[in-house]
Amino acid sequence: MLRQRVVTGLVLVAAFLITLLLAPFPTQAVLFGAVAAAGASEWSNLVIIRSAIGRLVFASLVPLTCGSLWVKLDLVGAGPILAGQPLLAGSAFLWSAMLLALKYYPSGGWLWGQPWVRGLMGWLIMTATWLSVVLCLRFDYGPIVLFLMILTIATADIGAYFVGRRFGRHPLAQAISPGKTWEGFWGGLVCVALLTAIVWANLPISHIHLSLGSLLALGLATAGASVVGDLTVSLLKRQVGLKDSGALLPGHGGLLDRLDSICGAAPVFALGLLLVGY
């Protein structure tokens, strides 16, 4: 299982890096849109859509909405980042509101028990994730910016795993994900803070105006949001009795099981870049 997990992970990393380094922006947007659609297809398991046609219709909503945003925001034009700012802010606000749902779960289970609520969440979350990723690519050094976002999320996840495994005592969200601990959470944040300091020390001259404090706030907010995304999908899986969102990735479960942290973090990261003056 471990070998399978490692091989799958390496393939995913290689595909991501090849897309960042070699594909032009429109191709990147289309490929990431396909990933979002695949994630939406798996989200249909959380909505309990059993028919193939129903799953196809649900998954198609995401690329159709993404295409509309591509045209509406003129994502290949001169000012797509500012045009998308209200959508990023709205998405970040909704993720912040999820903190209350996570804190008080299983209270409010009646809401998450509604298929239409889970379906609406999936459509909005996968679309917002795609938009956030695409807008990251439109910043200066876009591919590097997006890579750093993924690296931040991975650093928080790996740090939380090892620190939690060694020192974890106090559950972070017992009713949702018993394996996560507060010690692991704080350990992940410390690792992200170290990564942020390294990035700040190696900023290009054109961006030396960015302070270490502002980048630390961005990195820590992104890491925290990634945990919220992870726990949100875990909450919905627990609500419908699923262990994994799918079986697309050998050793990892479903694609959504790898995207959940990115879904929470991407809008916060993209909005944060604007707020810190990047």
CB atoms within 10 A of CB 71: 9
Average pLDDT, the chain: 91
- Span 46-63, pLDDT tens digits: 999 989 999 999 999 999
Note whether 224 and 10 are within 8 A (CB). Answer: no
pTM score over 0.85: yes
What confidence score (pLDDT) does residue 80 get?
72
Note the pLDDT of residue 184. Answer: 97
Question: What is the rounded distance in angstroms from the CA atom of residue 168 to the CA atom of residue 161?
Answer: 9
The rounded distance, in Å, linking the Cα atoms of 111 and 262 is 24
Instruction: Read off the DSSP letter of residue 253.
Output: B
Residue 190 Rama label (left phi>0; alpha psi -120 to 50; beta)? alpha
Q: What percent of the chain has pLDDT over 70?
A: 96
Q: Where are the domains of the chain?
A: 2-275
- pLDDT of 11: 87
Give the whole-angstrom CA distance, residue 261 versus residue 268.
11
Average pLDDT over residues 1-22: 83
pLDDT tens per residue across span 151-202: 999 999 999 999 999 999 999 999 999 999 999 999 999 999 999 999 999 9
Please give the pLDDT value at position 1: 56
pLDDT at 243: 85
Q: Both tokens of residue 129? A: 């994730």
pLDDT tens across 77-123, in order? 767 777 888 999 999 999 999 998 999 898 888 888 899 999 999 99
The pLDDT value given to residue 78 = 64
